Amino acid sequence: MAHSVAPEAELVLDKEFPVLDKGFVRLVDYLGGDDRVVQSARVSYGEGTKSYREDSGLIDYLLRNQHTSPFEQVILTFHVKLPVFVARQWIRHRTARLNEISGRYSVMKDDFYVPETKDVALQSSDNKQGRSTEALEEGEALAVQAAFREGQDFSYRAYRGLIDQGIARELARINLPLSLYTEWYWQIDLHNLFHFLGLRLDPHAQKEIRLYAEVLFELARKVAPRCCESFERHVLSGVRFSREEFIELKRRLAAAAGGETGGAPGDGLPALSGKALERFEEKLKTGRQK
């Protein structure tokens, strides 16, 4: 099967798209695109076997019904520069192949992430994993930025001092902070990239990794626009209900139609309340899977 060319992807190959203060994402290479997904699903050869509408319909059917293997035929390789703490969240997705810069072989650069003042906030009162949605006052945020820079500068000067003494690089690096930038080549198929994006584009994901996910998605869209459109429709803008949530939805629809609110199949469960009700209301408001 010939290598299919995505014209929009060719225009952005090897271009750096900035993320955060010093990071970036580059699309280094790709293999396949929308046509490859269609061809592998039909186990056919050549182009033009079906119309654009039929091909788009097949992609939609595959994604909607979770027939994932055709999407695994599309491979994307990215060069990413990112803070270590983002990398450690990212690496939890174990379905990719990567090569990361090594502090055992290379002297690390003096590159550290400092959040913008609008992103400096207190710990959330109702989310153990995240920050409050309200930023600190500018003066307080500037003081936090200064504290970050002071700690980073101290750590890097100590690191370079050890390097200059001839201490092994693999030891000299161990006190460098999580804000240090690292780089890697990250290769992943389209199915597993969609899984990554479904989690990391969620509003509850940490903002820093979400910004990287947004750039990855836009670059993937250059490679496989119809696949990405279907993913956006069914996953990013879709929603999945639990049994209890589905019963609650049927109750509300029946009430809105002026009918009885009880007696639906599987009913008899108590109405949603507390956190369960909050999650359900958020799904109705945002259309995001939770």
Q: Are 190 and 37 in contact (CB under 8 A)?
A: yes
pTM: 0.88
Task: Flag whether pLDDT at 1 surpasses 50.
Answer: no
Q: Which residues are catalytic?
A: 200
pLDDT of the residue at 170: 95
pLDDT of the residue at 290: 46
Task: Flag whether pLDDT at 261 surpasses 60.
Answer: no
- Distance, in Å, from the CA atom of 112 to the CA atom of 21, rounded to the nearest integer, reads 9
pLDDT of the residue at 186: 97
| Span 86-96, average pLDDT | 93
Average of per-residue pLDDT values in the chain = 89
Per-residue tokens: 287: 């259309």
- Distance, in Å, from the CA atom of 12 to the CA atom of 107, rounded to the nearest integer, reads 30
- Distance, in Å, from the CA atom of 234 to the CA atom of 56, rounded to the nearest integer, reads 14
- Distance, in Å, from the CA atom of 159 to the CA atom of 21, rounded to the nearest integer, reads 22
| Span 105-112, average pLDDT | 95
- Distance, in Å, from the CA atom of 274 to the CA atom of 242, rounded to the nearest integer, reads 16
Question: 259 or 18: which carries more pLDDT confidence?
Answer: 18
pLDDT of the residue at 53: 72
Task: Flag whether pLDDT at 199 surpasses 70.
Answer: yes
Write the pLDDT tens digit of every residue in 34-87: 999 998 888 754 555 566 678 888 999 999 988 999 999 999 999 999 999 999
DSSP state of 22: T
CA angle at 239 for the pair 128 and 8, rounded to the nearest 5°? 100
Residue 66, sorted as left (phi over 0), alpha (psi -120 to 50) or beta, turns out to be left
Task: Flag whether pLDDT at 183 surpasses 50.
Answer: yes
Instruction: Band the pLDDT of 237: cuts 50, 70, 90.
Output: confident
